[in-house]
């Protein structure tokens, strides 16, 4: 009787690895869902989940050339942060500012780099994009539920989502204090850049339409701006999209743009005709005024003070935790909303360029794929979300939030990290 060959890897080990992968994929989905749908609503829970999942990912991720490149830029940023935390501390920065800086600039980016890498390696970019599309539906549902519960029951019904909830639907204007709007900046830009990734043909019309309604009624200029930015990115990049061997191009480049334009016109027509409490002209006028004033008078004053502070430091920076004479937040006087100028004040010109190096690597990789006509539909989706989120840091400190940093690191890692074929769930 011939002996059976002994497998190179014991069967129980393969089963254990697959079980571990299933658990990790589930935890990654939970972490991403918390960050996207209920950002900052359960901060302690979110921080605990992110730290736990990131620790697992750090153990399980495989070596990758793109990850190595990004980690080099990350460690350069760690050096800059350590130096300027010390400079700020010597100059009298509060201990609370030092602690927050260490977490936001060192711990949090590492968490999202590890989790993003694990998502690409063990889940696959195609599945990740589908997760984000599903979460867009959930985010829109949470917005609708927030409006309904606030207007019918009262602020107490939604206080678990945000400490000081408010909705304004008077005087032709519509706005709400809801943190998920930060996530929608990325999600809306991504959807309008590459709507073809929405698989159901009816959902391809309904989801952008609902997103447009959410933007118009949000009162958030960055959210509204994300839609035309994403649309423009899609028009430019879809012309350089990769076509697989043996595959014919199914749609014209302008086809999705025309459909989205028609959806937008229909949505605005419905709002104008049926929703009498909302004045579209007033909303778009307010949006245009804020856009032209670079975020409003307060941010304009803030920008002036920060620029003066940068010049006073001779371009070297005053250190993390140090502010300028303009106080935006009494409780946290070192925090500002105009992130590019605030970063220049804290770490100077060279430090700012080091922080930007991660995204410079991302931009170079995108440019190479653009030139080679090697962009995938998922690449276009990710850059369509990344650019509006990056523009948003000019008026909102999203990148300084450990919850919102997925919008910046997930696209970066998705461009170059290679999926592990045996574990990543890739779909056509």
pLDDT digits (tens, 9 = 90+) for 352-397: 999 999 999 999 999 999 998 889 999 999 999 999 999 999 888 8
Distance CA 35, CA 44 (A): 12
Whether the predicted model's global pTM rises above the 0.85 cut: yes
Beta-carbon count within 10 A of 304 CB: 14
Could you tell me what percent of the chain has a pLDDT over 90?
47
The first and second tokens of residue 142, run together, are: 């949470």
Could you tell me what percent of the chain has a pLDDT over 70?
80
What pLDDT band is residue 158 in, cutting at 50, 70 and 90? confident
pLDDT of 216 over the 70 cut: yes
pLDDT digits (tens, 9 = 90+) for 319-364: 998 877 766 666 777 788 889 999 999 999 999 999 999 999 999 9
Confidence (pLDDT) at 152: 85
Confidence (pLDDT) at 190: 96
Q: What is the mean pLDDT of the chain?
A: 84
Domain boundaries, the chain: 13-416
Confidence (pLDDT) at 6: 47
pLDDT digits (tens, 9 = 90+) for 52-80: 999 999 998 998 999 999 999 999 999 99
Confidence (pLDDT) at 164: 78
Q: Are 155 and 165 in contact (CB under 8 A)?
A: yes
Confidence (pLDDT) at 411: 97
What number is the average pLDDT over the span 36-65?
Answer: 92
pLDDT of 297 over the 70 cut: no
What pLDDT band is residue 148 in, cutting at 50, 70 and 90? confident
Q: Which of 344, 360, 342 is nearest to 352 (CA)?
A: 344
> 318: which residues sit within 8 A by CB, 6+ positions away?
87, 88, 91, 309, 345, 346
């Amino acid at each position: 009787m011939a002996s059976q060959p002994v497998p190179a890897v014991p069967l129980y080990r393969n089963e254990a690895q697959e079980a571990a992968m299933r658990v990790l994929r589930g935890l990654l989905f939970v972490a991403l869902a918390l960050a996207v749908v209920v950002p900052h609503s359960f901060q302690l829970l979110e921080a605990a989940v992110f730290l736990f999942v990131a620790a697992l990912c750090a153990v399980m991720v495989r070596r990758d050339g793109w990850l190595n490149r990004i980690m080099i830029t990350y460690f350069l940023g760690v050096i800059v942060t350590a130096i300027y935390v010390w400079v700020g501390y010597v100059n009298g920065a509060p201990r609370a500012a030092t602690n927050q800086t260490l977490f936001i600039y060192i711990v949090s980016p590492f968490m999202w780099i590890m989790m993003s890498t694990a998502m690409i390696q063990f889940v696959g970019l195609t599945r990740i994009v589908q997760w984000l599309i599903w979460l867009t539906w959930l985010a829109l549902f949470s917005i609708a539920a927030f409006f309904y519960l606030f207007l019918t029951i009262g602020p107490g019904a939604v206080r678990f989502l945000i400490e000081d909830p408010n909705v304004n639907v008077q005087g032709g204007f519509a706005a709400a204090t809801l943190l998920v709007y930060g996530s929608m900046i990325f999600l809306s830009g991504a959807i309008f850049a590459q709507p073809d990734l929405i698989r159901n043909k009816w959902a391809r019309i309904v989801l952008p339409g609902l997103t447009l309604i959410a933007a118009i009624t949000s009162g958030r200029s960055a959210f509204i701006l994300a839609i035309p930015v994403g649309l423009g990115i899609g028009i430019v990049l879809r012309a350089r999209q990769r076509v697989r061997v043996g595959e014919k191009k199914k749609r014209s480049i302008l086809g999705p743009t025309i459909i989205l334009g028609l959806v937008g016109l229909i949505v605005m027509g419905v709002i104008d005709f049926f929703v009498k409490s909302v004045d579209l002209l007033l909303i778009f006028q307010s949006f245009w005024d804020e856009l032209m004033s670079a975020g409003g008078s307060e941010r304009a004053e803030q920008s002036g003070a920060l620029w003066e502070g940068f010049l006073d430091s001779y371009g070297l920076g005053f250190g993390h935790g140090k502010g300028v004479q303009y106080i935006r937040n009494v409780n946290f006087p070192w925090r500002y909303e105009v992130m590019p100028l605030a970063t220049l004040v804290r770490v100077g010109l060279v430090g700012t360029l080091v922080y930007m190096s991660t995204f410079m690597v991302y931009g170079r990789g995108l440019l190479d794929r653009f030139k080679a006509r090697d962009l995938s539909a998922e690449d276009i989706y990710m850059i369509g979300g990344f650019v509006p989120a990056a523009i948003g840091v000019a008026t909102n400190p999203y990148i300084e939030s450990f919850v919102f940093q997925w919008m910046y690191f997930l696209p970066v890692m998705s461009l170059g990290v290679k999926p592990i074929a045996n574990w990543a769930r890739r779909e056509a």
